[in-house]
Structure 1
C-alpha cells in the first residue's frame, strides 16, 4: 500500500495528513509481546521530522534560519496493542500554532490490516534559538504553516 492508498483507505482525523509507514519488528516488542510504549514516541518523532523535511524545514534549514523546534510536552493515548509483523501508518499534522512561540502537532497511528486507530497523540513544540537553546519568537518560515482543520469524530 502506498501513502496515497493509505490516505484514501483509512478514517483519518484530518483530510490528507502527512504519512509514513513502519512494520513492527521483534526489536520493537516488550516482554508482553506487544510494541513498547517508548517505541511509539520514537515513531512519532520520525513522522514529525519527515513532515518537517517535506515542508523544507530539515536540520540544515534550522541551522540556516537560526531557529528550531524542541518538544515541551507529549500526550499519548494508547488505544490498542500492536504486534510483530503489523504494518502501521503514522500520520501527523499541525493542529495549533500560536505564531509566536509554540505549536501543537497531532498524530494518529492506524494498523493497515484492520484499519483500526491504535494511537492518538500530540506534542507541543517550542521554537528555540539554535545558538543559545533559549525560546525565541518563530521566524516567518515557521509561521507559514497553518493548522489543519480536523474532522468531527
Structure 2
C-alpha cells in the first residue's frame, strides 16, 4: 500500500525509483554516496523536462556545476523499496541556480532524505564561472518555486 507523501513545497518534479542491489552497502542500506547520484538524476530529469538537457548545454557552451550540497539523511532506505525523488528550483540569478530535494518512501510516505544544492554557471570549455546564457534564465526562472 502506498501513502501519499507530504511534500515540503507544492508541485514537485518527481522521479520514481526502486532501490536495487547496486545501491546497497555493507550496512544493508543505501550507501550515502548513492544519494548524490540520485540528486543528479532527478535534477537532470527536471532540467530535460524543462527543455535544457546535456545537448542544449553543449550547444550553448555553458553548464551548471555544484558549488555546495547540504544533505540530511533522515531514514535508511533498503533493497527493493520504491522511492519518489522530488526537486524544486528555489532560486535563479545571473550566476546561480538553487534546488531543494526531498526523497520519500512510497510505501509509507515517509521523508527519508532532504537536500539543497547551490549550482554555479560555468563556461564548459574554460571551466570558469560565467553569467548564465539568456536561454538558461528564460527556462529556469519561470520554474522557480513561488513564495507561499
**Residue of structure 2 equivalent to 1:31:** 26
2:110 counterpart residue number: 116
Instruction: Name the structure 2 match of 1:148.
Output: 145
For residues 115 and 47 of structure 2, the distance between their equivalents in structure 1, rounded to whole angstroms, comes to 17
Deviation at 1:100, TM superposition (A): 1.3
What residue number does 2:38 align with? 43
Which consecutive residues of structure 2, in runs of 5 or more, have no partner in the other structure?
Answer: none
Unaligned runs of 5+ in 1: none
Give how far 1:136 is off.
0.4
Is the 1:68–1:127 contact (alpha carbons within 8 Å) kept by the matching residues of 2?
yes
* Cα RMSD for the two superposed structures: 1.8
In structure 2, how many angstroms separate the alpha carbons of the residues matched to 1:65 and 1:15? 31
Q: Of the candidates 95, 98, 104, which is equivalent to residue 98 of structure 2?
A: 104
Within a 5 Å distance, the mapping from 1:130-141 to structure 2 comes to 130-141=124-135
For the pair 1:19 / 2:14, whether they are aligned, the reply is yes
Alpha-carbon offset, residue 77 of structure 1 = 0.2
Alignment TM-score, normalising by the size of structure 2? 0.91
Output the TM-score relative to the length of structure 1. Answer: 0.88
Does the 8 A contact of 1:77 with 1:119 survive in 2?
Answer: yes
Pairs aligned (count)? 145
Distance apart, 1:149 and its partner CA:
3.1
In structure 2, distance between residues paired with 1:150 and 1:63:
32
Partner-residue secondary structure (3-state), 1:126: strand
